[in-house]
Amino acid sequence: MEKKNIDWSNLGFGYIETEKRFVSNYKNGAWDEGALVSDSMITMSECAGVLQYAQTVFEGMKAYTTEDGRIVTFRPDLNAARMEDSCKRLQMPVFPQDKFIEAVSQVVEANAAYVPPYGSGATLYLRPYMFGSSPVIGVKPAEEYQFRIFATPVGPYFKGGVKPLTIKVSDFDRAAPNGTGHIKAGLNYAMSLHAIVTAHEEGYDENMYLDPKTRTKVEETGGANFLFITKDNKVVTPKSSSILPSITRRSLMQVAKDYLGLEVEEREVYVDELENFAECGLCGTAAVISPVGKVVNHGKEICFPSGMNDMGPVTKKLYDTLTGIQMGRIEAPEGWIHVIK
Ligand code: PLP
Ligand code: COI
């Protein structure tokens, strides 16, 4: 199979239309078989649930080319399970988890020419999503839904690759105490747009959101969880019921413990203790692990000892081990790597 003529190493995190996407429709209480289609356009009612009341959820995952030339995905079962949780919270029908994984494989295989080559620094980003497609005008769930998956080749999420980021402690909240912060609903991202545009205008790379109830604890950014490294090399990550349970973060905590022999702790992290940490990073499918050099809390600068030029040494080890597992250089724990071809 001939790869597309794309400048893989210079890709940013953007949308490039690929050849095939998976589409399945839910009508009269059941999903149809679903199929790969070529048309990237969607036609639906002007009154669709997604358009009026934001009834939509999504996932983010990647396909990788391994060192030995296979194409794989990373823990797609966890994306399928998380999408189920998201759907239930927004009163949407669940797309069966086994069919989700099968559809992911079909989309990757059909777009194999767009899976970036090993070593290019790029990957094929996959975006499964579902939305209410039938008309609703009174506030209630739609009756019909569409589930789709498209693929697009991507490079690093943050411009500048692995250069440490500067983060602003945001005055906006991303989630409500008993709201939807723990699921992957489009509405969580819509309401973060003003905050991210404001942060960018002020020269920051991202926002640190605080817990919406007390505004004293670290939650996450608009698209990634936080990891901190203590001065004695413990890996700490915030525990909260209003953040997205990142698959990358859950995997990294296991990697830290089982591969690197580090102590790990998931606990509440107070903004006031940030200055005690040696390293800080953001983790997620898009972010992979992006180092944070500085957090600015209303004019007070917290500069991590790892500095503004390089990833901290423990963060780097975590990064190398995780990406090594994803690209087949390091043996993966049982069930983590799903081989497509
Ligand atoms: N937090 C938010 C708000 C996200 O959008 C994402 C991205 O999916 C993550 C965390 C990281 O999750 P994952 O590692 O499963 O991609
Ligand atoms: C992902 O990491 O897959 C996400 O969905 C985050 C988004 C900000 C791109």
Q: Tell me the helices (H) and strands (E) count for the chain, helix number first.
A: 7, 17
Least distant ligand from the CA of 129: 2
- Number of domains within the chain: 2
Examine the residue annotation and report whether 184 is marked as an active-site residue of this protein.
yes
Q: How far is residue 74's CA from residue 338's CA, in Å, rounded to a whole number?
A: 6
Rounded (5°) CA angle 261-66-114: 135
| Ligand 1 centroid from CA 316, angstroms | 20
* Partners of residue 303 on adjacent β-strands: 294
* Beta carbon of 284 within 6 Å of any ligand 2 atom: yes
Do residue 176 and residue 317 come from a single domain? yes
Do residue 287 and residue 319 come from a single domain? yes
Q: Whose CA is nearest to atom 9 of ligand 2?
A: 286
Show the domain range for 253. Answer: 165-326
- 228-246 pLDDT tens trace: 999 999 999 999 999 999 9
Decide if 340 is inside a domain.
no
Do residue 170 and residue 221 come from a single domain? yes
Determine the atom of ligand 1 nearest the C-alpha atom of 82: 15
- 52-99 pLDDT tens trace: 999 999 999 999 999 999 999 999 999 999 999 999 999 999 999 999
pLDDT at 1: 76
Give the DSSP per-residue string, 83-145.
HHHHHHHTT-PPPPHHHHHHHHHHHHHHTGGGSPPTTSS-EEEEEEEEEE-SB--SSS--S-E
In angstroms, what CA-CA distances link 298 with 127, 171, 271? 35, 9, 12
| Ligand 2 centroid from CA 227, angstroms | 16
For the cut 80, the answer to whether the pLDDT of residue 162 exceeds it is no
Decide if 318 is inside a domain.
yes
Do residue 87 and residue 62 come from a single domain? yes
Decide if 339 is inside a domain.
no
Do residue 177 and residue 128 come from a single domain? no
Do residue 197 and residue 148 come from a single domain? no
Nearest alpha carbon to residue 195 among 165, 167, 230? 167
* Beta carbon of 224 within 6 Å of any ligand 1 atom: yes
Half-sphere exposure of 215 (CA within 13 A, CB side): 7
Tell me which amino acid residue 255 is. Answer: V
Decide if 69 is inside a domain.
yes
Catalytic entry in 20, 62, 168, 184: 184
Q: How far is residue 248's CA from residue 239's CA, in Å, rounded to a whole number?
A: 15
Do residue 198 and residue 300 come from a single domain? yes
Q: How far is residue 119's CA from residue 29's CA, in Å, rounded to a whole number?
A: 45
For the cut 70, the answer to whether the pLDDT of residue 161 exceeds it is no
Decide if 249 is inside a domain.
yes
| Ligand 1 centroid from CA 215, angstroms | 21
Do residue 265 and residue 191 come from a single domain? yes
Do residue 99 and residue 221 come from a single domain? no
